[in-house]
Amino acid sequence: MSSNPVTEDETKASSVEEGSLHSDSQVPFMGDKLQRRLSGPQIQMIAIAGTIGTGLFLAIGQVLAVTGPLGLLIAYLHVASVAYCTLTSIAEMTVFAPIAGTFPYYATRWVDPALGFAVGWAYYYALIMTLIAEITAASALIAFWDPKESHKYLYITILCVLTVTVFGRSEVFFSAIKIMLVLGFIIGGLVITLGGGPDHQRHGFEYWRNPGPMVSLLEPGAKGRFLGLLVAIVPAAFSMGGIELIAIAAAETRNPRRSLTGAMRTVVFRIALFYILSVLVLGMILPSDDPILFQSATNAGQAPWVLAFMRAGVKGLPSLINAVIVTSAFSAGNSLLFGASRILYGLALRKQAPAFFLRQTKAGLPLPAILFTSAFSLLAFLNITERSSKVFSWFVTLSTVSGLLGWATMNLTYLRYYYGMKQQGVKPEGIYRSRLQPFAAMWALFWLIFYILISGISVFWAFNASDFVAAYINLPLFGALYLGWKIIKRTKIASLRDLDFKSGDSNLV
């Protein structure tokens, strides 16, 4: 076998020996019967749709308020580095073994079946919580035009129904809208900051000087600025949640190896354009001390981009922006439903969920898994209360921390995969491999553990029981899932020398 890997900059077709991939096969892997109908462009669009949601358009304002424009940029740069490293870990394993419900399968095969069970259900739960948050945000954004609280019931019902009925049919359309929206934000923001807005005022880095580059939170001075940066991690991570959906979608592409490798080439570009450039521009056109930013993040009037253009005197455009953000929330929910239903299908495939969820339509769609998952979207009705903003923030925290646990598990799994291959002398040729590994996985794993531990840091200054539970309840739940399955099934952690890199590989695509 060749020892020269294909990196982000290079792809080569190959036929490999025992334990590797056959690029033209259409046979699913180890009992996976999902139809491989997605094309390369579609997987790109699913990745974009899952990545750009209300987090980028709403949560970004919360981050700006608690940490300032420089802190906003630092928080997103740091989380982006962790997200990218995590995605390279997932991508390498996915091109080696593309299968429905990828994350639990890899943990089951290369770490411990109990860990696969725990991360599968934890990640499924994370996607559901994010789906609820997206639907809630979309219904609240509609209040920009119709502020009547009683009408939210109608809007949430419509959104829940639409999420199922147009499931899987709108990735290209909505992703194109999202790309144009982000580009419009960046270009429009640059025009405003250079004095091209209706007020003809050049802003430049004005707001970096006054009110300042960073905000002190919880404590005065440098300590407060550092704490503000830590508090910003959860909403920043929420914004980037879903970037890994590209690996889940790979199980249903016609050529997973080629499609995923091609998609990975654009990941750095997507992160740089959609997140880093966006937060830099927003920090130039919106001051961090704007009082509206400190109000409920679920109120459409406080969408930071809408607020920024309104401050610049742009008329009419805020309504258009808000309308597109609503479609963005719906699109992200659509992608989340896709990912969650596939995770549930994958769990059932490995007998870690009821076999009922393996049933499919003639077109190969796992309908029971889709309908069961979509039913949880009705929990969005919990947000129609006087404490709706608080409930929304709980959903954000719950989904983010659970998602971070999933990312951490995937990096741990990758390290087992990497060193297991190294110890057994397995050298896959012709598939995506990152030059940053294994150090990328180590970097990501370290910081993900740190993120999880500080996810509720603000409660230690102003203790609130519900916020504490939302931040840390995932840890004992994850531990209970792991230990419960381990005790019941008496699973074991295999040694690196005994890890399985061969069985079923003749069916890999």
> In order of start, what are the domains of the chain with their CATH numbers?
40-498 (1.20.1740.10)
Peptide bond into 428 cis (omega under 30): no
Residue 258, pLDDT above cutoff 60: yes
What does the H/E/C string look like for 379-420?
Answer: HHHHHCCCCHHHHHHHHHHHHHHHHHHHHHHHHHHHHHHHHH
For the stretch 57-99, pLDDT in tens is 777 888 888 888 999 999 999 998 999 899 889 888 888 877 7
* Mean of pLDDT over the chain: 76
Looking at residue 44, what is its pLDDT?
Answer: 64
Q: What integer pLDDT is reported at residue 10 of this predicted model?
A: 37
Q: Which amino acid would we find at residue 198? A: P
- As a whole number, mean pLDDT of residues 286-294 equals 81
CA distance 244 to 123: 11
**CB-hemisphere CA count at 13 Å for 116?**
28
Q: What is the pLDDT of residues 175-221, one digit of tens each?
A: 777 778 788 888 888 888 888 877 777 878 888 988 888 888 878 88
Least confident of 49-63, 335-349, 420-434: 49-63
| Confidence (pLDDT) at 409 | 93
Q: Which of 61, 262, 37, 75 is nearest to 171 (CA)?
A: 37
pLDDT digit string, tens, across residues 8-52: 433 333 333 333 333 333 334 444 455 555 565 666 666 665 566
State phi, psi for 8 to the nearest 5 degrees: -60, -25
Q: Which residues contact 203 (CB under 8 A, 6 or more apart)?
A: 192, 193, 195, 284, 285
CA atoms within 13 A on the CB side of 356: 6
Assign 149 a pLDDT band (cuts: 50, 70, 90). low
Task: Count CB-CB contacts under 10 A for residue 28.
Answer: 21
**Amino acid, single-letter form, for residue 475:** L
pLDDT confidence of residue 81 = 92
Model-level pTM?
0.82
DSSP state of 55: I
Separation CA 81–CA 100 (nearest Å): 26
> Which pLDDT value is given to residue 483?
94
Give the pLDDT confidence score for residue 33 in this predicted structure: 53
**What pLDDT, in 10s, does the model give residues 110-134?**
999 999 999 989 888 888 888 887 7
The per-residue pLDDT for 443 is 96
